Amino acid sequence: MLPPSRSIPQPYRVSQQTTTNTMGREEKRIVIGLDFGTTYSGVAYCDDAAAKEGTSGVKLVMGWPGPITQNATNEKVPSRIAYNPPPNATILWGNQIKHNTKAAVHACMKLRLDEKMKGSEQFRMLLAFLTSRMTGLDVDVDELPALGTELDGPPEYPGKDPVDMVADYLTEVRKATWTEIGNAYGDEMFAQMRKELVVTVPAVWSERAKDLTLKAVQRANFGAAKTMLVTEPEAAAIYTLKCMREGINKDDIKVGDVFVLCDAGGGTVDLISYRITQVQPTFRIEEAAVGTGDKCGATYVDKEFLAWLERWIGPDAYKKIPAAKARHGSQMMTTFETAKFTFSGDGEDMDIRLPSECGIDTDESLNIDDRTLSFTKDQMRTVFDPCVNRTLELVDGQVAAVMKAGLGKPKMVFVVGGFGRNRYLYRRIQEYCTERGIQTRQPAWPWSAVARGAVCRGLEGAGAGLIAVRLARKFYGTAASEPFRPGVHSEEDMYVNEITGRKMARGQMTWLCDKGDRLPDDTPRTMNIELSRQFEPGDEREVMGVLVGCTDDVPCRRFADDAAQVICRVRADFSDMPLSSFPKSRSFATGKEYYELDFKLEATFKSDVIHWRLLYQGIEYGSTTVTYDE
């Protein structure tokens, strides 16, 4: 975040008001749902005619090139890409990448779109584990920080930034998708269909990360007549609910019921809660608690295993294992993954073959015989539990938030996502729920629920959505100067306005929308703030308004506070307007003559999209642009 004194003009707050209005409608088409995941991506589609069959009309793309990996079905395709060096400079991606692929493998591209994740140590570790040099090239574990440092500096691959790489990856996903859908409908017919794309993003995605995702999607040339974003848990919730509504237990859902949705994926576990507000003639639901999530997905179970192994065989032996043989896709980790996938909390010991480099052939005290480690179910539990326990905490947090909102106890917890398929995780969630009289459910296709739900959401069309009300995930507002009041404002923010000579406090927050505020889908909520800026005849007349977010429960009052995060800026240049169009004043304190520029900043909230405009005399001023913050 940029310091306020440099980056923010110091407009002066006049008043604040709220108004509302509506929009939106649709026609015949094929809807394509794209779930670009941290570890796996999925694509589903449905045309208007097939939509009449309900969720079974939603088809999944499964013709991904390359062999299916040992542990996965083709329901999703690995989110990874590798560039062969020139002269042939071909791209390998998804299942085409094997443990002996020579080119450096780029994984975790999704997280690279999110600034906050990019710099984190946790991300560096995850990236180092998932990515690159899975060949015989010895990259020592000690090199991890070095790999991470690269992330903060130049792009990982010459000439490619994260958006380029995601765009290249999504281009391959699109090509495979086009081939499969083209085969299903006939190329000619498919070419004529109106394509609508629904792209899913994490609920916690920043506006900038959403913007970068869209940029990458655009570069992948889906040629969609319309592209919309929907959050992953919301898509999964829509799919799960639709499945239930079509099933034999459809009467289980009644008006007033609340359910929690838990999407446990590779990178994150995301949660959200909904309350059913209408069953007939159509379903309508409302968010019942602000969504939460954490980085405790299945990939962290793999990381836990490596940490456990280091403790078990000792750091000296562990250090001898080349990083390439402890990375995702290596033989050892693939065996571990197989055990992980089928782990239910009980069962037999699992055999994991250790790389010869660790130097332990047979050691009874370590349960290692002929380089094969007998890994017990208790040990597996130790490895699972940090992620499982954190997931349970998150579920508990949602249950508590729903109860705190006065909506009673949730009726059900829905579990989806790749990690959500795991029997042990599911069982632990079930135990938690049973103790509290809550039911646990999983839809027919938990792994591809997000992609399928994205299609369901797209078929609903704009404005007619299942979800009638969302809750604001953070406070949204703007920063402006106010007349300085000792004892109220911090001395640090104090400055003297050179034109008026008045003592002012810079960067004071006005929150236009509170965290948890209800945002109805059919009536976009518009909030604005009137501001004023003084200038002298020779001054620049560019005005800027910054949209700021804060996820804390109690919002900060100062822009300088770390909790205040810049979402985007909107600028307008008034240099071309004649001075005579602005009201003139004179300051008694400084004797200076100055002009007053009154403008309005307006935020409109709809379906998780915020429009931020700068208005002058009631109209959007010509050169106004919205830019996402770097």
Ligand X SMILES: Nc1ncnc2c1ncn2[C@@H]1O[C@H](COP(=O)(O)OP(=O)(O)OP(=O)(O)O)[C@@H](O)[C@H]1O
In the list ligand X, Mg ion, none, the entry touching 286 (Cβ below 5 to 8 angstroms by class) is: none
- Which residue has the CB atom at the shortest distance from Mg ion? 265
Taking the C-alpha atoms of residue 453 and residue 19, their distance in angstroms, rounded to an integer, is: 32
Exposure string of 307-345, with b = 16+ CB inside 10 Å and e = fewer, is eebbebbeeebbeebbbbbbbbbbebbbbbbebbbebeb
In the list Mg ion, ligand X, none, the entry touching 297 (Cβ below 5 to 8 angstroms by class) is: ligand X
Minimum gap (Å) between residue 269 Cβ and ligand X: 8
Interface of this chain with ligand X, residues 65 to 94, rule: CB under 6 A: 76
Exposure string of 153-173, with b = 16+ CB inside 10 Å and e = fewer, is eeebbeebebbbbbbbbbbbb
In the list Mg ion, ligand X, none, the entry touching 453 (Cβ below 5 to 8 angstroms by class) is: none
Q: Exactly one of 265, 410, 453, 549 binds ligand X (CB under 6 A); which one?
A: 265
Q: Total binding residues for ligand X by CB under 6 A? A: 22
Minimum gap (Å) between residue 440 Cβ and Mg ion: 19
Taking the C-alpha atoms of residue 77 and residue 66, their distance in angstroms, rounded to an integer, is: 10
Secondary structure letter of residue 552 according to DSSP: S
In the list Mg ion, ligand X, none, the entry touching 612 (Cβ below 5 to 8 angstroms by class) is: none
Nearest to 199 by CA among 43, 307, 418: 43
Q: Exactly one of 11, 37, 148, 233 binds ligand X (CB under 6 A); which one?
A: 37
Nearer to ligand X, 41 or 478 (CB): 41
Interface of this chain with ligand X, residues 413 to 432, rule: CB under 6 A: 417-419, 421-422
In the list ligand X, Mg ion, none, the entry touching 78 (Cβ below 5 to 8 angstroms by class) is: none
Binding mask 334-373 for ligand X (x = CB under 6 A): ---x--xx--------------------------------
Evaluate whether 270 touches 263 at the Cβ level (below 8 Å): yes
Nearest to 355 by CA among 343, 344, 368: 368
Q: Exactly one of 298, 383, 438, 615 binds ligand X (CB under 6 A); which one?
A: 298
Binding mask 607-626 for Mg ion (x = CB under 5 A): --------------------
In the list Mg ion, ligand X, none, the entry touching 341 (Cβ below 5 to 8 angstroms by class) is: ligand X
Nearest to 61 by CA among 222, 192, 213: 222
Interface of this chain with ligand X, residues 90 to 149, rule: CB under 6 A: 110
Evaluate whether 493 touches 506 at the Cβ level (below 8 Å): yes
Interface with ligand X by CB under 6 A: which range of 260-268, 403-411, 488-496, 521-529? Answer: 260-268
CA distances for 268 relative to 107, 205, 320, 328, 388, angstroms = 15, 12, 31, 17, 12
Minimum gap (Å) between residue 604 Cβ and Mg ion: 29
Minimum gap (Å) between residue 171 Cβ and ligand X: 19
Helices (H), 121-248: 121-130, 144-152, 162-185, 187-192, 207-219, 232-246
- Which residue has the CB atom at the shortest distance from ligand X? 418
233 is a site residue for Mg ion (CB under 5 A): no
Q: Exactly one of 8, 31, 32, 40 binds ligand X (CB under 6 A); which one?
A: 40
Interface of this chain with ligand X, residues 187 to 246, rule: CB under 6 A: none
Evaluate whether 269 touches 239 at the Cβ level (below 8 Å): no
Taking the C-alpha atoms of residue 377 and residue 400, their distance in angstroms, rounded to an integer, is: 32
Interface with ligand X by CB under 6 A: which range of 33-41, 358-366, 462-470, 595-603? Answer: 33-41
291 is a site residue for ligand X (CB under 6 A): no
Cα dihedral 111, 117, 118, 121 in deg (nearest 10): -120
Taking the C-alpha atoms of residue 464 and residue 237, their distance in angstroms, rounded to an integer, is: 16
Interface with ligand X by CB under 6 A: which range of 31-39, 154-162, 239-247, 549-557? Answer: 31-39
In the list Mg ion, ligand X, none, the entry touching 391 (Cβ below 5 to 8 angstroms by class) is: none
Strand order in the sheet with 372-375: 350-353, 372-375, 368-369
Nearest to 340 by CA among 30, 587, 133, 70: 70
Nearer to Mg ion, 201 or 564 (CB): 201
Taking the C-alpha atoms of residue 406 and residue 13, their distance in angstroms, rounded to an integer, is: 36
Taking the C-alpha atoms of residue 93 and residue 80, their distance in angstroms, rounded to an integer, is: 6
Nearer to ligand X, 426 or 574 (CB): 426
Minimum gap (Å) between residue 206 Cβ and ligand X: 15
CA distances for 491 relative to 487, 495, 502, angstroms = 9, 9, 14
Taking the C-alpha atoms of residue 588 and residue 255, their distance in angstroms, rounded to an integer, is: 64
Nearer to ligand X, 265 or 453 (CB): 265
Largest CA distance in the chain: 91
Q: Exactly one of 78, 265, 410, 443 binds Mg ion (CB under 5 A); which one?
A: 265
Q: Exactly one of 39, 131, 398, 534 binds ligand X (CB under 6 A); which one?
A: 39
Nearer to ligand X, 35 or 602 (CB): 35
In the list ligand X, Mg ion, none, the entry touching 291 (Cβ below 5 to 8 angstroms by class) is: none
Taking the C-alpha atoms of residue 282 and residue 284, their distance in angstroms, rounded to an integer, is: 6
Interface with ligand X by CB under 6 A: which range of 114-122, 140-148, 259-267, 601-609? Answer: 259-267
CA angle 399, 415, 443 (to 5 degrees): 130
In the list Mg ion, ligand X, none, the entry touching 40 (Cβ below 5 to 8 angstroms by class) is: ligand X
DSSP per residue, 6-70: HH----EEEEEEEEE-------S-EEEEEE--SSEEEEEEEETTGGGGGGGG-EE----SSPPPT
37 is a site residue for Mg ion (CB under 5 A): yes
Residues that bind Mg ion (CB under 5 A): 37, 265
Residues that bind ligand X (CB under 6 A): 37-40, 76, 110, 265-268, 297-299, 337, 340-341, 417-419, 421-422, 447
